[in-house]
Amino acid sequence: MSAQFLEGRTALVTGSTSGIGLAIAKALGSAGANVAVHGLATPEETQAAVDTVKDAGAADVEFFEGDLRKPDAIDSLIDAVKGWGAIDILVNNAGVQRTVSLKDADAAIWDLIIAVNLSAAFHTMRRTMPAMGERGFGRVINISSVHGLVASPEKSPYVASKFGVIGLSKVAALEYADAGDASSGGVTVNCICPGWVETPLVEPQIQDHAREVGGDRDAGIEAMVAKKQPSKRLTTPDEIGDVALWLCNRAAHNITGTSIPVDGAWTAQ
């Protein structure tokens, strides 16, 4: 596998202006892909993300807008990216989460989480996968979660959406399993299921736990993560990016319909 094995390929990564999405965009760019960046961000944050992916080695990078709550906006997003380049790699990373009990959850919370986390993946996949099948190559990587494999209290809409993404991915994998061949690389659909990942979103929790153990950040991470994740280690966004990149190589043509936990043995318990 050459270092630039995605040269000539175009990737769309939703929610890629920061965090896991940006790390995946960087990883794909490092292998020479053209990368369509997408997300909710300020103009300054958007430009910083584009520059980061360019600096990683991407052949070309563009930012595309699209409100994933709205099917019409998703269609416009896909049309715009297709006008820039045929989509060979689709990464559905964008997501939202709300911590709320089943008793207190309302229709607005349910509709938001299902729309962004599950329905958006359905709409992007239905618009991109037929052309992947015709070309004999395609990679769909859906960022699910450890909560697509196991449940936790007060996350009913989120858990439902992430279980749904895994089910959707299995169906799509079956429908496209015989597209292309080993030489072309085939069309695969897989989920990555992260556990605890070191992003800005979890930093306040790290600091809270660190204060409980005398201000030691590493000890705070261990105390926080050990409640669920036996490894007692966080995963970095770049490590998730490396998993996504690995799934894009030709040798992964028969790895499809899977859900890969990156969870320090959380789901092994």
| pLDDT 10s digits, 155-206 | 999 999 999 999 999 999 999 999 999 999 999 999 999 999 998 878 888 8
| 95 and 191 co-located in one domain | yes
Domain with 218 in it: 198-234
Is the model's pTM score more than 0.85?
yes
Which phi and psi angles does 30 have, rounded to 5°? -65, -20
| 97 and 204 co-located in one domain | no
Distance CA 42, CA 46 (A): 6
Burial zone of 202 (CB within 10 Å; 0-12 exposed, 13-18 middle, 19+ buried) = middle
- For residue 1, the model assigns a pLDDT of 57
| 203 and 257 co-located in one domain | no
Is residue 269 situated within a structural domain? no
User: Look-up: residue for tokens 């196991």?
Assistant: 150
- Kindly list the catalytic residues: 158
Largest CA distance in the chain: 59
Beta-bridged to residue 60, according to DSSP, are 34
- Check whether 249 has a pLDDT greater than 90: yes
| 40 and 170 co-located in one domain | yes
Q: Report percent pLDDT > 90 for the chain.
A: 91
Number of folded domains in the chain?
2
| 15 and 122 co-located in one domain | yes
Burial zone of 23 (CB within 10 Å; 0-12 exposed, 13-18 middle, 19+ buried) = buried
| 18 and 122 co-located in one domain | yes
| 209 and 85 co-located in one domain | no
